[in-house]
Structure 1
């Protein structure tokens, strides 16, 4: 639905409410699904990526890994959970592993943790490989986003150190940089512990499908491909630079002495790499699961003030908002937040980072935020900025969410459900009763507001949620990339 949010009490409000209630369900299910699907597909088909000399170019850093997918409740044994579930910044024992997993499992929240105990990690991988249905694939934010951009028609430069075995997962058309000449690379391995909605772990039930990621990385925390990437960027001349994978630094045991903070030095080089790009090259930062407050605070001074765009899920949204506003980490949040809550957090993040833009004297300003949740996509862009087609981008991100999780390009209505209500508030501010009414035949709602003295457009698209989840890991990377695909024009 285009236009400004409707005020309650108007005749139009009453009419649309009655229309929405009528449209909601019939005897065979939610009849909103078909018109929502058709309109989302229409928006996608009407907006295609340019080809030939107008083909957009994206450069993505940093890192890659082997992902080992395993059913979480097959690998972990509830009898080893001693005491209540508990959050740990890093994992060093089997008991901490079980407590940490249970903590996020019962919330249905995504998590990513570093295991400092290498022997325990190797033992867990050995145990996982003996289970049925385990599978290997490529992992890491940058490679997964790179493959999505490639599928959608972009020219791609990827920064990652990889073995030849891992490179085999990447399409030949993607240019990979990072290895030194004839360098033998030992790939980092991430264990992706997946679970489905309503799955049981002892007395706990997962409220939604999700994943818990464990790693014991050596390459990725050091951003080992950063320098090589810098050598290739000038000639590649990207339209979009994507910064991701920095969460691998989270709780990694960097060696420190009085004269040197290696993590801070590496992040300074990331900042310099962003600043080395012309303002015509848009810069996007992909958030992730962080718990190390020192690292998060470094990101708020060394990365966030220098990018045009930030992408994240609902957990990362809550965490970033908490760090920016209060200087505190938010470990877990509502797995299905109200639209109004997410929009208020987006507004706070926008205002605070725009203030940091000014404090750091940076010519590049935050002009885009994309939040993806189970139920909806929300994209905020500054009007008349370099970001285009926000409405179509929200639709494409929504479709990509379903396709990835169902692992199928075709969208079958019998495998879909909608969680977005027939109407939603645009803010939790009790003095503002502005609402948007969900019209199945025009499901992407867009309106304008004024923030930080500039006009912004906000678009919210419902997600046709996949009810038979096949893939959970990598969903955020594919969704974020899909949201960016239509917003950059060469």
Structure 2
């Protein structure tokens, strides 16, 4: 008799699962999408950025560039591809370029590579400028995030060396330090090769819309705005310091007279971070890193001293691989299961917490934001200064759709959901954190509490209303990360 209640409870649980699945399958597209949209919007409306004296102050570094957007398959001829696609950490000729592009294209994976062949790079730019849909925009992690913070109501300080022409892309309300009032500086140019879902390149088809970035930077690798940023930070009184653009240091004259110059510059970044007042939150924005030495520097000089990390699914896998195995992960699943991503986030949280202790850091990692095509996942510790995690996940999800569609209005006929009717919170069945969460259209943002290494954390997962007519891909992650942060930072009076 003692086993009867358990048996009955199990049967009841199974019935609930079957009912829930059948009910959801009967929902039409709009019946599922409309309540998701309305609830995400209501969370956004109820959690606006404080203005006036409580308006958050955000400082961002380093660097900027001129982005040249071009249709990838219009620029590149698949018939010139000789041999199998493969990864190259650095591009030196046309053959490597085509193979590298095709490798990431067939996976639908974002990538960023340095082209050491300056002559080839200039030729590609000339070819791109002859295409009808090519356009210019400002680029770089810091400028794109800065503009998003400003649009969302924050006061912003941006450190970036740029020409007067490039500065014109920056909203006037953003304070820029490091810009020149003349045209003496030659702005770095990044070529953004965009492609849409199901687009073809020879025998290969893209599983999702994405972009491949190639650059030949001269200014950004040097972090040339670092010193002027240091001079302006104390008077600005930031609530949040955002560090990005360090991936550009892959093209750095590493050693001179036996001295690692890149490590020297990163030591100064560490100093800039560690000298901030304890009330200033520090966020590090990951990117497409392939240089193992640079990544090792980051895990020792930067990551142990920040409060927050933001990244996409490719960068998530790469960071975990570096922390666990000391190896670079070139490509990962472009649409990972929620359980898989959450497991990776948990491992990174515990590993960096260990580094906090090892490096004697006064800061402990308290926030991780992972943005993917299908969902936003944010982890925050319960006793941290980060606020409104549920609303932040919703805001990030809305920004993902708006940015990619290049439209503030969310039209249901341009939306789709990739989330299943339910998801597991971990792939480890024996874990204490193992449970199944049902997706509710009327309450689409799922949040729960867990214990990680003795620390109570909140995890929130929000579905993305995926834009089915992608207009923009490059810069999406920067805008999404900034949107997720903007509601979590409050100014103390």
Give the TM-score normalised by structure 2: 0.95
Q: Is 1:462 paired with 2:457?
A: no
Three-state SS of the structure 2 residue aligned to 1:88 is coil
Runs (5+) with no aligned partner, structure 2: 1-8
Q: Is the 8 A contact 1:24 1:31 kept in 2?
A: no
CA shift, 1:169, in A, is 0.6
Q: In 1, distance between residues paired with 2:254 and 2:247?
A: 17
Say which SS state the counterpart of residue 101 (structure 1) adopts. Answer: helix
* CA deviation profile, 1:227-260 (whole Å, cap 9, x unmatched): 000000000010000000001012x141513431
Note closer, same or farther for the CA distance 1:10–1:237 as it changes in structure 2 (3 Å cut). Answer: farther
- The whole-number CA distance in structure 2 between the counterparts of 1:402 and 1:249 is 31
Instruction: Give the conservation status (yes or no) of the 8 Å contact 1:312–1:371.
Output: yes
In 1, the alpha carbon distance for the partners of 2:123 and 2:178 equals 30
The count of aligned residue pairs is 481
Deviation digits for residues 305-328 of structure 1 (CA, Å, limit 9, x no counterpart)? 000000000000000000000101
How has the CA–CA distance of structure 1 residues 482 and 17 changed in structure 2, closer, same or farther, with 3 Å as cutoff? farther
Structure-to-structure mapping, 1:26-425, within 5 angstroms: 26=27, 29=29, 31-179=31-179, 184-250=184-250, 252-425=251-424
122 and 439 in structure 1: CA distance in 2 versus 1, 3 angstrom threshold: same
* Structure 2 partner of 1:3: none
Q: Deviations over 1:78-113 (max 9, x none)?
A: 111110001000000000000000000000000000
Question: How far does residue 304 in structure 1 lie from its aligned partner after superposition?
Answer: 0.1
Q: Larger relative contact order (C-alpha < 8 A, sep ≥ 6)? A: 1
Alpha-carbon distance in structure 1 between the residues aligned to 2:272 and 2:11: 52
Determine helix, strand or coil for the equivalent of 1:106: helix
Distance 1:44 1:12 in 2: 34
Which residue of the partner structure matches residue 4 of structure 1? none
**Contact 1:379-1:394 at 8 Å conserved across structures:** yes
For residue 197 of structure 1, report the CA deviation from its aligned partner.
0.1
SS in 1 for 2:162: coil
Question: Residues of 2 paired with 1:464 and 1:153: CA distance?
Answer: 24
Shift of 1:430: 2.4
* Separation (CA, whole Å) in 1 of partners of 2:231 and 2:88: 38
Given the superposition, is the C-alpha separation of residues 451 and 92 from structure 1 closer, same or farther in structure 2, using an over 3 Å criterion? same
Distance 1:333-1:24 versus aligned 2 partners, 3 A rule? same
Normalising to structure 1: TM-score of the pair? 0.96
Mean alpha-carbon deviation: is it higher for 163-172 or for 12-21?
12-21
Alpha-carbon contact 2:165-2:183 (below 8 Å) kept? no
Q: What SS does structure 1 have at the residue aligned with 2:427?
A: coil
2:15, 2:240 → 1: CA distance?
44
The Cα offsets for residues 365-410 of structure 1, whole Å up to 9 and x where unpaired, read as 1000000000000000000210000000000000000000000000
C-alpha distance in structure 2 between counterparts of 1:301 and 1:13, whole Å: 48
Q: Distance in 2 between matches of 1:308 and 1:289?
A: 20
Residues 24 and 421 of structure 2 are in contact (CA less than 8 Å); yes or no, is this contact kept in structure 1? no
User: Is the 1:21–1:422 Cα contact (8 Å) retained in structure 2?
Assistant: no
CA offsets per residue over residues 49-77 of structure 1, 9 Å max, x none? 11111111000000000000000000010
How far 1:181 moved relative to its partner?
7.6
Give the aligned partner of residue 486 of structure 1: 487
Contact 2:64-2:160 at 8 Å conserved across structures: yes
Q: 1:68 to 1:9 in 2, by over 3 A?
A: farther
Aligned twin of 2:4 = none
> Is the 1:376–1:463 Cα contact (8 Å) retained in structure 2?
yes
Displacement of 1:22 after TM fit?
1.4
Q: 1:477 to 1:17 in 2, by over 3 A?
A: farther
**C-alpha deviations, 1:161-214, integer Å up to 9, x for none?**
111111111110000001468682210000000000000000000000000000
Distance 1:69 1:17 in 2: 48
Q: 1:38 to 1:156 in 2, by over 3 A?
A: same
Q: State the alpha-carbon separation in 2 of the partners of residues 45 and 75 from structure 1.
A: 42
